[in-house]
């Protein structure tokens, strides 16, 4: 159980629905990654949590699973190809750990599909590519300061 004393639902707007986002390309970052065992227990997949960075779906989460350790060679081949696309999209070609792929912007191709178990629509990640016209770099505080055209200085840099 959790102590919820002090929370008043009347003072907080409820979340919107979590209907799938429309098909398209979205600027996203990987915010979390974890190797998890397969349901059958005979392999493992890399689960990626992604976040949309801009537009009307800013802040929405997406997930992808890469079957990197699986008895099915075709599943492993597809997963390694997807991981290669991610690495190329973010400019990290020899990652030692999946966390090296976190917070690097890339374009993610998203589609809607019906779930096998419920026929409800859900999102599916269909591909990754480098965003056009920008070198991949970590997402840090570089937003322009109000009234200026140049980015804000990092907090550790003295002016």
Question: Domain of 81: which CATH number?
Answer: 2.40.50
pLDDT per position as a tens digit, 15-49:
766 789 999 999 999 999 999 999 988 899 999 99
Are 101 and 85 in contact, with CB atoms under 8 Å apart?
A: no
Apex 54 CA angle, 49 and 59, nearest 5: 40
Q: Is residue 45 part of a domain?
A: yes
Q: Is the dihedral of CA 31, 95, 87, 155 positive or negative?
A: positive
- What are the tens digits of pLDDT across the range 48-87? 999 999 999 999 999 999 999 999 999 999 999 999 999 9
Number of domains in the chain: 1
Distances (CA, A) of 73 to 2, 40, 67, 68, 80: 44, 16, 10, 9, 11
Residue 109: inside a domain: yes
User: Domain for residue 60, yes or no?
Assistant: yes
Residue 139: which pLDDT band, with cuts at 50, 70 and 90?
low
With bands split at pLDDT 50, 70 and 90, how would you rate the model's confidence at 116? confident
pLDDT (average), residues 129-152: 53
CA distance 40 to 45: 12
- Determine the structural domain holding residue 88 and report its residue range: 17-129
- For residue 149, the model assigns a pLDDT of 41
pLDDT of res. 150: 40
Beta carbons within 8 Å of 153's beta carbon, 6+ residues apart: 159
Q: Does residue 79 form part of some domain? A: yes
pLDDT digits (tens, 9 = 90+) for 90-112: 999 999 999 999 999 999 999 99
């Amino acid at each position: 159980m959790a102590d919820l004393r002090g929370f008043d639902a009347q003072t907080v707007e409820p979340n919107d629905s979590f209907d799938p986002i429309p098909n398209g390309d979205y600027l996203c970052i990987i915010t979390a990654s974890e190797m998890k065992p397969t349901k059958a227990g005979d392999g493992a997949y890399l689960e990626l949590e992604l976040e949309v960075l801009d537009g009307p779906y800013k802040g929405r989460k997406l997930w992808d699973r890469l079957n990197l350790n699986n008895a099915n060679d075709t599943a492993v081949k597809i997963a390694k190809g997807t991981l290669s696309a991610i690495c190329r999209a973010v400019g990290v070609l020899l990652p030692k750990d999946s966390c090296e792929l976190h917070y690097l912007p890339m374009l993610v191709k998203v589609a809607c599909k019906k779930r096998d178990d419920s026929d409800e629509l859900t999102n599916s990640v269909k591909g990754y590519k480098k965003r056009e016209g920008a070198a991949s770099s970590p997402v840090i505080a570089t937003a322009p300061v109000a009234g200026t055209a140049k980015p804000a200085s990092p907090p550790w840099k003295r002016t």
